[in-house]
Amino acid sequence: MKTISYKPKDFNWTRWKKADMHAAAEAAMAGVKSAKDAIKRIAAQDRTFANTIWPYERAMREVGTLQCKLHLLASVALQKDTRTAAHSTVERIHAKLVGLLYDAGLYRAFKEYAARSEKLAPDAERLVAFLIRDYRRMGMDLAAAKRAEVKKNGKLLNKLTLAFQKNLNEYHDEIRVDRKELAGLPESYISGLARDSKGKYMVTLKYPDLHPFLRHAQDEARRKELIEKYLRHGGIQNVAILQKALKLRERNAKLLGYKTHAHFVLEVKMAKTPERVLEFINGLVAHTRSAAKKEVTELTERKRKETGDTKTKLEFHDVSFYAELVRQQKFSLDSEKVREYFPLEFVLAAMFAVYAKLLSVTFKKLSGFKLWSPDVVLYEVADAKGSRLGYFGLDMYPRPGKYGHMAAFNTVAGSAADFTIRQSVERIAPVCFLVGNFPKPGKNRPSLLSHGEVDTLFHEFGHIMHFTLGNPRFASQNSFAVAGDFVEMPSQMLENWTWDRKILKKISRHYRTGKPLPDSMIDGMLAARNFLEAYGVTRQMVLASYDMALHLKPPKTAAENSTLMMKLNKKMLGIEMPKNSMFGAGFGHLMGEYDAGYYGYAWSKVYAADLFTRFEKEGIMSSRAGKDYRNLLAKAATQDEMKMITAFLGRKPNDKAFLKQLRQS
């Protein structure tokens, strides 16, 4: 199957204005309406996959691609007007789409086709089953009045989700400090901070400012001020939005016949039930409770030693700072010295080389493609024989109004251009973008990454590989369409490469001397790998517990919502959060398709640890294991997730590798 090549004009959408967005939206909506009307006109006895299912799939591919493009532009476009226009157009599309797709006649058409029992390939059979399942979950089996309410609530939820994310992207706050209040921070960090008209240094809530300050700033009062601002980012408006969303989710779940929104969400995940998720969370907490308590005690003792106050407590704003001090003392490891060995441009090239060899692919940097910012670089992915597989772009540096974390954004899902039994049909090339916020390079200093940021880069690029190497016939079975508690697994498994001694040598080069990480530093890094691991896992379980609690029994007020998170953190970690915290306002996962699903990060990590046992046994760059892993990625969402894992391992998966890792912490 030949993959279609893209030209610079195919990326003109990255520079769309408001009128362009509206025109594209109208065309996509017209396509959906035309497909729907044609499908409904077909007599029950004449229905086939080609005339009933495929036209719907094709129309939804087009409108889904448009929504993904606009979602990206709303998150990264340079001009606020462009971001706002993209945001409002997505709202408009969704409102119209709900009106078009909430159609009992369309649902009846799909059921009529299914009743004909046409012989299908497994991927097409799965497509039909999931389509009917999803229509049932939209409320199509309900009475008209209830169905109308589900539809109305769905529209409102989409508007709330978009508003929540927009508030996060546009939110800005900072602390302003003088030179002495930056004691403990490296000069490279200080020189990169913006200054106000009075000469004060501005430390924002963006990751490149936030995390180094919390780790290294000796001024406790300013650390406290910064973390309190961070724990309120998103603002009171997002707390209100979240509360509305929780009520709407609960109402829709009840209308659809589910006990709670958590029951509704988990029906289509690997975990299946809230009871299984709570069992998983409680099991991990039981494994980590004792070790996490010891780790918190160790940090508390270090604070008491540093301050001379034998009764002081470890506060929320202290964790990163004293963790860094203990890490340096125990492992002779200075994270800022380590950073000097990871210049972004070199790390990217070295990472590409690792992935290229492991997955038998090549990466080619493209020129002449004008995208939304000069900072964005586009690449083509090909197999070892030179056959085109897909495209991805990198947008690595922070700027005002840009998405504030790091994530892979899909825009075009790879799929067969048309439905046919012929093998020569063209394939639409997948396109995705990796959006990050690494420190911007300075005059005499490149962008330097911490090892944690390198780890994150390998993880997120794993998502890029999953998406570009996925090879489904149908766009709705793209790699990001796998079960929510599976989607992080392929990327989490690939984080292990940043902890291998030989790989660390290959991906590091001091920005001045050109030398790789010395063995002494690598020894310290490997020894420190599981430092605070129990605390980290427990912290993840705090977040997962908060998420599940919100969706099993939603709090009645915003104050109760914030108090819930503070109580869980105190109960599970023994650390009090600031009393004015509004954690939910900035917890984007709750309004970003991880509702009742945050546990999935840890859930998938268990499977990732088990998958990695093959590479531990066969070699981290094993061509055989790499080939099998690429085959797993290529399946995208065409098969049951447990079936894919079992096929790769040659046995049923288990949690032994993950629990072994925890015991080493």
Query: For residue 650, how far is the Cα from the chain centroid?
Result: 28
Instruction: With beta carbons less than 8 A apart as the criterion, state whether 596 and 547 touch.
Output: yes
Q: What percentage of the chain's residues is helix, strand, coil (to nearest 5)?
A: 60, 5, 30
CA torsion through residues 184, 187, 189, 190, sign:
positive
Residue whose tokens read 């406790």: 220
Rounded Cα–Cα distance for residues 189 and 204 (Å): 13
Tokens of 597: 């699903």
460, 488, 495, 533: the active-site residue: 460
Tokens of 125: 């059979």
Distances in whole angstroms, Cα of residue 354 to Cα of each of 198, 365, 391, 506, 649:
47, 16, 18, 9, 22
| Helix, strand or coil, per DSSP, at residue 115 | helix
Instruction: With beta carbons less than 8 A apart as the criterion, state whether 496 and 612 touch.
Output: yes
Tokens of 148: 């109308």
Rounded Cα–Cα distance for residues 95 and 159 (Å): 9
Torsion angle, alpha carbons of 494, 499, 502, 504, to 10: 100
Three-class HEC string of 331-385: HCCCHHHHHCCCEHHHHHHHHHHHHHHHHCEEEEECCCCCCCCCCCEEEEEEECC
Instruction: With beta carbons less than 8 A apart as the criterion, state whether 414 and 472 touch.
Output: yes
Residue whose tokens read 């508690």: 485
Instruction: With beta carbons less than 8 A apart as the criterion, state whether 380 and 391 touch.
Output: yes
Rounded Cα–Cα distance for residues 54 and 160 (Å): 32
For residue 579, give the nearest of 556, 550, 559 by alpha carbon.
Answer: 559
Query: Is 315 annotated as catalytic?
Result: no
CB atoms within 10 A of CB 134: 14
Active site residues: 460
